[in-house]
Amino acid sequence: MGRRTKKYSDLLPKKWHVGVYLRISREDGDKEESNSISSQKDLVAFYIQSHSELSETHEYVDDGWSGTNFNRPGFMEMLRDVRSGSINCVIVKDLSRFGRNYIEVGQYLEMVFPMLNVRFISINDNIDSVANPDSLNNAIVPFKNIMNDEYCRDISNKVRSVLTNKRKQGKFIGSFASYGYMKDPNDHNHLIVDEEAAPVVRDIFSWFLSGMGVITIAKKLNEQGVLNPSAYKRYKGMKYHHPRQDMNDTLWPDSSVKRILRNRLYVGDMVQGKNKTRSYKLKASVNIPEDQWIVVENTHEAIIDRETFDKVQEIFSRSFRTPPHAPRCYVLSGYVRCADCKRAMNRKLISQPYADYGYYVCSTFKKMNQGACTKHTIRSDKLEDAVLATLKAHIALAVSLDEAIASLKTGKERTGTSVRLERMLEEKRREVASIEDCKLELYPDWKSGVINREEYEALKIRFDKQIKTLQAEADRINRELDAYRSESPEQNPFLTYFLAHRNIEKLTREVVVELIDMIYVHEGGEITIKFKYQDEYLRLLDFLQEKGIEIPALKSAG
């Protein structure tokens, strides 16, 4: 009598230790009632009661996790128990609860679970890999998995579209408001100022403008015991988690300070769409170029005025650092350049028995020292004195201009135009016309053999660039003319900002940031100061000249 071959079913256990897997996610478009966790529990419990071989159930729940992500905590716990042998049967309400990535779902059903002798049951899909093996091999199963995947993709696209529209409308769509703000209780898409945190934001901007570096500001906040943004959210009862919150849990890193200083949100603008996920299956985000961010201005109350914010951004655009062990940067840090090579000047400290003094030296000379440039050295105290003296002269000029305008009493309106600007505009137009004529001569020269095709193309590109540059300059002059015609002399920014410092006695970081664009040091110690608001100053001269009042122009060299 031959030896009886055991069937596959004979090798399977008689009792099944069941793992009940439950999942729901609004991101997948799940309907709250039909797919709720409690609804899934009830359906699976009724099914188990009618199958006596199923016992010792254990539940694994993922509430709020997308089906495209298989790194869900409940799912991963279930897999660990499957591999350890604690459970040998997995039951779900339907395939969409198990997952919505058809490739990974197929791998688990066709490879992982059979290899581990794990029974898989999907109740609503009538799938039971042991009681009815053909149900798993049916062609409808992969088709359902594809449909579940496609459904998730479709929902993801619709959600993205809705969120993009909200962003374009200036509605806040984040889970947590940025530090200094909170969600409006009456409209969670609108931000209101958090009066408890907003003063800290104002201090950060004020300290930075006074010359403090971001590291110094972070240290000061930590010394004052101010909670960092993550800790503050948790202090307010929010369920906020940061990947590194366990490291120095409440301390401010300098990166948080810098992030606040660079964030346009604080001037009342909504800036969103800075990053996006690669796809609905891959949750890793990628950064979006800044010119593609979605920005809507004036959507909420500002904590920082635009003028202050712009000053801070300008400082970030300059190359400077705060000296080690110093609470603030030097008063002229980032504002001193070599007049010849235009590179930054480095400040050095010399210690002598009688005193310590600082001086600036060209960074090109210091690094190369091979004739690339010369020292251009100047003592820092003498430079600061010269800058202060020149500032005072400019302020005195502003006072004179203000008095001249006030003396007019009537007739402050502009009846004419700026001869200077009109002359400049006409000159640009003539230059454009001249280049256009040269450009027209190119084609006949090419056809007659005076120039070859390569020369023709190169010259055409060069002429086009020149015309574009001249047109941009003409546009700027036109804007100057518009400002000249519409601006009230008393509201001229040159007067506004320079008169605000009429009692200046000491050079401060705030004054430098507000009034100076750059300081150039020449070989031999002479300096040239490029002040801000020079176009506005020239507009004032044009206006007074129109009224018959001559004010001598002031040099910017000290």
For the stretch 423-435, pLDDT in tens is 888 888 888 888 8
Q: Which of 18-32, 80-94, 212-226 has the lowest average pLDDT? A: 18-32
pLDDT attached to residue 28: 53
> Can you tell me the distance from the alpha carbon of 432 to that of 465, in angstroms, rounded to the nearest whole number?
11
18 touches 91 (CB < 8 A): yes
Share of the chain above pLDDT 90, in %: 23
Q: Which of 246-255, 259-268, 329-338 has the lowest average pLDDT? A: 246-255
Strands (E), 119-244: 119-122, 127-128, 181-184, 187-193
> Can you tell me the distance from the alpha carbon of 159 to that of 180, in angstroms, rounded to the nearest whole number?
28
Can you tell me the mean pLDDT for 181-204? 92
pLDDT attached to residue 483: 73
Q: Is the model's pLDDT at 167 over the cut of 90?
A: no
pLDDT in tens, 452-511: 888 888 888 888 999 888 988 888 888 877 776 766 666 788 888 898 898 899 999 889
List of residues 6+ apart from 269 with CB closer than 8 A = 295, 296, 297, 298, 299
pLDDT attached to residue 156: 59
pLDDT attached to residue 71: 87
Owner of token pair 């779902």: 105
pLDDT attached to residue 388: 93
> Which tokens in the block code for residue 515?
């009034």
> Which tokens in the block code for residue 179?
């530090």
181-316: CATH number: 3.90.1750.20
Q: Which of 49-63, 81-95, 312-326, 439-453 has the lowest average pLDDT? A: 312-326
| Mean pLDDT across the chain | 81
Q: Is the model's pLDDT at 2 over the cut of 70?
A: no
Greater model confidence, 322 or 194: 194
Q: Is the model's pLDDT at 244 over the cut of 80?
A: no
pLDDT attached to residue 7: 45
Q: Is the model's pLDDT at 328 over the cut of 70?
A: yes
> Can you tell me the distance from the alpha carbon of 528 to that of 555, in angstroms, rounded to the nearest whole number?
9
Greater model confidence, 310 or 534: 310
Question: Nearest CA to 304 among 178, 167, 172, 493?
Answer: 178
Q: Is the model's pLDDT at 19 over the cut of 90?
A: yes
Can you tell me the mean pLDDT for 327-339? 87
Can you tell me the mean pLDDT for 525-534? 89
pLDDT attached to residue 411: 47
Q: Is the model's pLDDT at 62 over the cut of 70?
A: yes
> Which tokens in the block code for residue 195?
């009066």
Greater model confidence, 319 or 544: 544
pLDDT attached to residue 242: 60
**What homologous superfamily does CATH list for 8-154?**
Resolvase, N-terminal catalytic domain (3.40.50.1390)
Residue 169, CB-side half-sphere exposure with 13 Å CA sphere: 11
pLDDT attached to residue 147: 62
Can you tell me the mean pLDDT for 124-137? 83
Whole-number CA gyration radius for the chain = 36
Q: Is the model's pLDDT at 114 over the cut of 60?
A: yes
510 touches 209 (CB < 8 A): yes
Owner of token pair 């988690």: 241
Q: Which of 102-111, 255-264, 306-315, 517-526 has the lowest average pLDDT? A: 102-111
Q: Is the model's pLDDT at 6 over the cut of 80?
A: no
Record the pTM: 0.59
Greater model confidence, 77 or 447: 77
For the beta sheet containing 378-379, the strands, ordered from the edge strand earlier in sequence to the opposite edge, are 345-351, 356-362, 378-379
323 touches 296 (CB < 8 A): no
Q: Rounded to a whole number, what is the distance in angstroms from the first to the last CA of the chain?
A: 117
